[in-house]
Chains A and B, each alone.
Chain A
Amino acid sequence: MAEQSYETNQPLQPKPKPKKRKPRLTLNQSKYLFVYACLLVPLLFYITIRFIPTLYTFNIGFREWNILSPEQPFIGFENYVALAQDPVFRKSLINTFIFIFFGVLGQVVIGLGVALLLQRINKFVGVFRVIYFIPYVTSIVAVSWVFRWLFMNNGFVNEMLVNLGLPAQLFLNSPNQAIYIIIATMVWQALGFQMVIFLAGLENIPKTFYEAAEVDGANSWQKFKSVTFPLLNPTIVFSVVIGSINFIQVSFTQVVNMSVDSAGGPLQSTLTIVVYIYQLAFRQFSMGMASAATVILFLIVLTITIIQMKVLSKKFDY
């Protein structure tokens, strides 16, 4: 019965569309097609925007390359020799290490300190966490100018110092103080990030360890020294590495916006390697020497990354 009605109904139904029959792909074939179709654009991007430019930088670094001159002769390591002999480059390198050392130290110590304090309270934890985190999610250039305004000759901080009967300071105009004001600004902006990372790290430490330490009669400092610190070590290493790489790269924005001459002043006291590279390449147009300097920057970042992988891949036993 059913079959019959099916047959009689057949002519009334619209004809099934004549399917454009692609040769039917097997499951595996269609998977392959999908994979390579999707990878096409990304691979093109990575090759043309990342790989070729990276290799090209090495090439430019070995040439005397000025935008204005028509020829770019190969000169071997001469750019590197010139950099090594340039006192300004050496200064920028030293400053970069000052930035990394004090910046990362400040960020990690204060970030960990805030995280430890937050761990001790029960109320308003969320509110404090948001407050300490706000600077991290805002504009770096805007923050730079706000701090420049705060630390002006006649700005808020100096007015406060004078009101307290203390001498006014030169701050960003002083070759000795400027770099530390910029570092402080960067620490202020980034410590919320470190705090969040540390809070998560602290939460991962099993409570039983603290209970055991308490049974043994340990005080707060002893608990920190023998439980918190060793178990938090991988988190601290992670923070230090992320912080170092950030400080190398981000420092450009702060230095350009906070140094009095927008170029690492006064007296090159805040000049970092990235600012130096920018000046060479886009103010003096010596692309060759600037590229050589970026290769050195690359080697520094690479070293830090390798240390990261070495240290982080160590297993920590509880």
Chain B
Amino acid sequence: MNKRTKSAIVYTLLILGSIIMIFPFIWMVSTSLKTPLEVYSLNIIPDNPTFENYRRIFQDTLFGKWFINSLIIAIVTTISVAFFDTLVGYIIAKYKFIGKTIIFIAILSTLMVPTEMLIIPWYLMSSEFGWTDNYWGLLFPGLMTGFGVFLMKQFMESIPDDLLDAARIDGLGEFKIFMKIAIPQVWPAISALCIFTFLSNWNAFLWPLIVIESPEIFTLPVGLSFFASGEFESRWELIMAGATITALPLILVFFLLQRHIIKGITLTGMK
């Protein structure tokens, strides 16, 4: 085999693979634009494309509300994780104090406990304190993560102490040093952490399913799941419109930030 046929084979394999990766999305969008009559045909481009399914979803169901709920939960959690995990990582990396090793090991050990192990006590706790069926109930388990603390500690350690001491001599307070000197040094790691946190909260399913009962407070994944297996079972054109609304924002964000995201995964994966 000469070089040209070889590279032709490589490209063909990659293109075939790409079709498998992309096709489900095309099929999803295509079905969502079809009328109920056409939904079982194999046309990729609908004969009579219509936005009727989207109109119905936003008017007759709570998808709009679920979308906003998901957005609020994901954004608030991401801000909290980014702030607290970075701060704790910084303190553990850059200060000497009594109890430091114990605190770090304790936080690390939470990484070994799967979330599934905590849901029953969380649930009992939430029922006790009235946290079920509200935003706080959805939010509280994810406000800080052991992973983020570990990640940020690794990156904070690379900041030279001299830099921080120079700021101290200039009279900057400790918190200002953290905000103005430390954070800009590890910005790529923080943005990677934000992306991971946002993604995993946008996808969270088990806990929201347990803690929320009123449809008004559902997040998108729970809402879509109930929608698709309940009243609208087998209305595939509507289910696919719902799936598109759930899946597309993430894909758009990914296109905007793809360089950061791929770099972030490489960065954190290799640490």
* A and B bind: yes
**B115 proximity list for chain A (CB < 8 A):** 249
A32 touches which of B42, B97, B255 (Cβ 8 Å): B97
A249 engages B42 (CB within 8 Å): no
B17 engages A301 (CB within 8 Å): no
**B125 proximity list for chain A (CB < 8 A):** 53
**Could you tell me the distance between the alpha carbons of A31 and B173 in the complex, rounded to whole angstroms?**
9
**A133 proximity list for chain B (CB < 8 A):** 254, 258, 261-262
Question: What 1/0 flags go to A150-187 for Cβ under 8 Å of B?
Answer: 10101010011000000000000000000000000000
- Is B154 in contact with chain A by the CB < 8 A criterion? no
B14 engages A118 (CB within 8 Å): yes
- Is B206 in contact with chain A by the CB < 8 A criterion? yes
**A130 proximity list for chain B (CB < 8 A):** 255, 258
Q: A189 CB to closest chain B CB, in angstroms?
A: 10
**Could you tell me the distance between the alpha carbons of A159 and B28 in the complex, rounded to whole angstroms?**
16
B220 engages A287 (CB within 8 Å): no
B246 touches which of A31, A50, A53, A142 (Cβ 8 Å): A142
Question: What 1/0 flags go to A115-150 for Cβ under 8 Å of B?
Answer: 001101100000011111111011111110111011
B121 engages A46 (CB within 8 Å): no
A137 engages B24 (CB within 8 Å): no
B91 engages A38 (CB within 8 Å): yes
**B175 proximity list for chain A (CB < 8 A):** 34, 38
Question: What 1/0 flags go to B152-171 for Cβ under 8 Å of A?
Answer: 00000000000000001000
Q: B37 CB to closest chain A CB, in angstroms?
A: 14
Question: What 1/0 flags go to A276-318 for Cβ under 8 Å of B?
Answer: 0110011000010011001101100110010000000000000
B14 engages A121 (CB within 8 Å): yes
A282 touches which of B103, B210, B221, B265 (Cβ 8 Å): B210
Q: Which of B117, B168, B240, B255 has the most CB of A within 10 A?
A: B117
- Is A2 in contact with chain B by the CB < 8 A criterion? no
B206 engages A39 (CB within 8 Å): no
Main secondary structure of the interface of A (DSSP, over half): helix
**A32 proximity list for chain B (CB < 8 A):** 97
Binds B, one of A205-213, A225-233, A252-260: A252-260
Q: Which of B13, B42, B265 has the most CB of A within 10 A?
A: B265
Given contacts A46-B144, A49-B141, A142-B247, contact A159 B42 (CB under 8 A): yes
A257 engages B174 (CB within 8 Å): no
**Could you tell me the distance between the alpha carbons of A150 and B112 in the complex, rounded to whole angstroms?**
36
**A253 proximity list for chain B (CB < 8 A):** 203, 205-206, 221
Q: B89 CB to closest chain A CB, in angstroms?
A: 10
- Is B68 in contact with chain A by the CB < 8 A criterion? no
- Is B78 in contact with chain A by the CB < 8 A criterion? no
**A46 proximity list for chain B (CB < 8 A):** 106-107, 110, 144
B21 engages A145 (CB within 8 Å): no
A129 engages B203 (CB within 8 Å): no
Across the interface, name the chain B residue whose C-beta is closest to A300.
B114
A39 touches which of B22, B91, B122, B244 (Cβ 8 Å): B91
A49 engages B140 (CB within 8 Å): yes
- Is B183 in contact with chain A by the CB < 8 A criterion? no
**Could you tell me the distance between the alpha carbons of A302 and B220 in the complex, rounded to whole angstroms?**
32
**A77 proximity list for chain B (CB < 8 A):** none
A-B CB contact pairs (8 Å), 9 listed? A45-B144, A50-B118, A128-B14, A139-B247, A142-B242, A146-B240, A156-B27, A249-B115, A301-B113
The 3 closest A-B pairs by CB, nearest first: A53-B121, A34-B174, A142-B247
